[in-house]
Amino acid sequence: MARRGENIRKRNDGRWEGRYIIRSNECKKYRSVYGHSYNEVRQKLINCKNEMKQLMTENDPSDSNINEISQLWLENVKITRKYSTYRKYADIYNKHMKEAFGILKVHEITPELVTKKLPKGLSLSLYKSIYCVFNQILTYANRYYDIPKVQLRAENIRATPKPVQTLNMADQQKLCTYLFTELDSCKLGILICLYTGLRLGEICALKWEDIDFQCRTIHINRTVQRIQSDHGDKKTMLHEGPPKTPCSIREIPIPEFLCPFLLEYKDDGVYVLNKVSPMEPRTYQYKFRSYLNKALVQKSHFHTLRHTFATNCISNGADVKSVSEMLGHSNVNITLNKYVHPSMDTKRNILDSLSSISGQNNGHII
């Protein structure tokens, strides 16, 4: 229930939510801020309201160019979204949009112009991110200042999906055999990912306090990633923050055979992999590749462990909803379309089972 007069409430997922009005002339529109405590959300609301009051009284961007609108939008993102999200959007705008579009007025932006002025040779993912940022800037201008909205669509961007890797059963066995030989905390982290589906940033930020040995569960509350820094003396910084999405805050059961190893390697450190600080994700990627090389397993990306976990679960009869929740997905379609990849052995077993239809069993008529 919301606290009286402050429009702050505790959600069913355990987070606190605060709402504030961003526009109140002919109609009311609301935006929300989120936090892990009442006081955190209350402070965010105060910051948002002060920021909006300042923007509305000191700025009239109705005739502003894209760069001026973008700076206002980025300031709003900085106080209402995750810091890592703000840094990502700021980097995309400054590196790929500011020079080409910054001096233009909003009404000058057309889909044809954007297509013409965007740099060539960018990856599909980056193209989509640029369009996403551009549309958010234009939506912000429309919501706050009634500037007519232009909707950009990246309809002509197409790419052939890259084949997704999973480890076959033989490679999984070779890798596990190597990891259990002279097992240490870093090798144990790879086993955790293979048998629980954790993301790279999640395992690097995992703390011993996140593991409930009595209930045999792992609580995913944070992730770590390297992002651009606001400080002039450093280009990048290791940022620890909330997981990728609200659905990524989750509880995962620990396979029974892993519990004794976790207990054996538990120490007085804070983090599972690196005692006093989060593990650098790139460093852990390098470790993983060296493990694959020493185990005589073909080179794979770290995310292969997550794909392999999902595929193993489905192949062993798990329902998609359970797998989706353990992976932290918002819906089961993401799990099915991106993370479940039937192996050749699975396909072969399916086709071999059809022999009963023809009355054949191992070459003999039944």
Going from N- to C-terminal start, the domains of the chain cover 1-58, 62-160, 169-349
pLDDT at 186 over 90: yes
The residue assigned the tokens 């995913």 is 220
For 3, the 3-state DSSP assignment is strand
- How would you list the strands of the sheet with 16-24, edge to edge? 8-10, 16-24, 28-35
Averaged pLDDT score across all residues of the chain: 83
Lowest mean pLDDT among 59-73, 85-99, 121-135: 59-73
Residue 277 · residue 240 · CB < 8 Å: no
Mean pLDDT of 129-144: 88
The residue assigned the tokens 């912000």 is 140
pLDDT at 366 over 70: no
Q: How far is CA 363 from the centre of its chain?
A: 50
Residue 299: per-residue pLDDT? 92
Residue 2: per-residue pLDDT? 47
N- to C-terminal Cα separation, the chain: 67
Confidence of residue 4 (pLDDT cuts 50, 70, 90): very low
Confidence of residue 212 (pLDDT cuts 50, 70, 90): very high
Residues in the chain, total:
366
pLDDT at 224 over 50: yes
Residue 356: per-residue pLDDT? 63
Q: How far is CA 81 from the centre of its chain?
A: 14
pLDDT at 255 over 50: yes
- Can you tell me the distance from the alpha carbon of 109 to that of 295, in angstroms, rounded to the nearest whole number? 54
Residue 366 in tokens: 């039944």
Does the pTM surpass 0.75? The reply is no
Cα R_g (the chain), whole angstroms: 25
Residue 127 · residue 154 · CB < 8 Å: yes
Residue 116: per-residue pLDDT? 87
Confidence of residue 318 (pLDDT cuts 50, 70, 90): confident
Confidence of residue 157 (pLDDT cuts 50, 70, 90): low
Mean pLDDT of 137-152: 80
Residue 1: per-residue pLDDT? 44
Residues in Cβ contact with 33 at an 8 Å cutoff, skipping those fewer than 6 apart: 17, 18, 20, 41, 44, 45, 48, 79, 80
Give me the percent of the chain exceeding a pLDDT of 70.
81
Mean pLDDT of 327-351: 75
Residue 309 · residue 338 · CB < 8 Å: no
User: Quick one: DSSP state of residue 16?
Assistant: E
Lowest mean pLDDT among 91-100, 158-167, 237-246: 158-167
pLDDT at 14 over 50: yes
Q: Which amino acid is at 69?
A: I
More confident residue, 119 or 340: 119
Q: Which of 200-214, 223-237, 318-332 has the highest mean pLDDT?
A: 200-214
- The fold for domain 169-349 equals hpI Integrase; Chain A (1.10.443)
User: Quick one: DSSP state of residue 275?
Assistant: B
The count of C-alpha atoms lying within 13 angstroms of the C-alpha of 120, restricted to the half-sphere facing its C-beta, is 1
Residues in Cβ contact with 232 at an 8 Å cutoff, skipping those fewer than 6 apart: none
More confident residue, 126 or 296: 296
- Can you tell me the distance from the alpha carbon of 321 to that of 326, in angstroms, rounded to the nearest whole number? 9
Residue 363: per-residue pLDDT? 52
**CATH classification code of 62-160:** 1.10.150
pLDDT at 284 over 90: yes
- Can you tell me the distance from the alpha carbon of 47 to that of 20, in angstroms, rounded to the nearest whole number? 11
Name beta bridge partners: 31. 20
pLDDT at 161 over 80: no
**Cα–Cα separations (whole angstroms), residue 316 to 20, 253, 311, 319, 328:** 47, 16, 9, 9, 20
Residues in Cβ contact with 194 at an 8 Å cutoff, skipping those fewer than 6 apart: 172, 175, 176, 305, 308, 309
Q: How far is CA 343 from the centre of its chain?
A: 26
For 41, the 3-state DSSP assignment is helix
Confidence of residue 361 (pLDDT cuts 50, 70, 90): low
Residue 323 in tokens: 């797998």
Using left for φ > 0, alpha for ψ between -120 and 50, and beta otherwise, residue 313 falls in alpha
Mean pLDDT of 8-32: 70
Lowest mean pLDDT among 106-115, 246-255, 305-314: 106-115
Residue 48: per-residue pLDDT? 77
74 CB burial (10 A radius; 0-12, 13-18, 19+) = middle
Confidence of residue 294 (pLDDT cuts 50, 70, 90): very high
Residue 20: per-residue pLDDT? 74
Residue 5: per-residue pLDDT? 47
Mean pLDDT of 149-158: 69
- Can you tell me the distance from the alpha carbon of 326 to that of 338, in angstroms, rounded to the nearest whole number? 15
Mean pLDDT of 289-302: 95
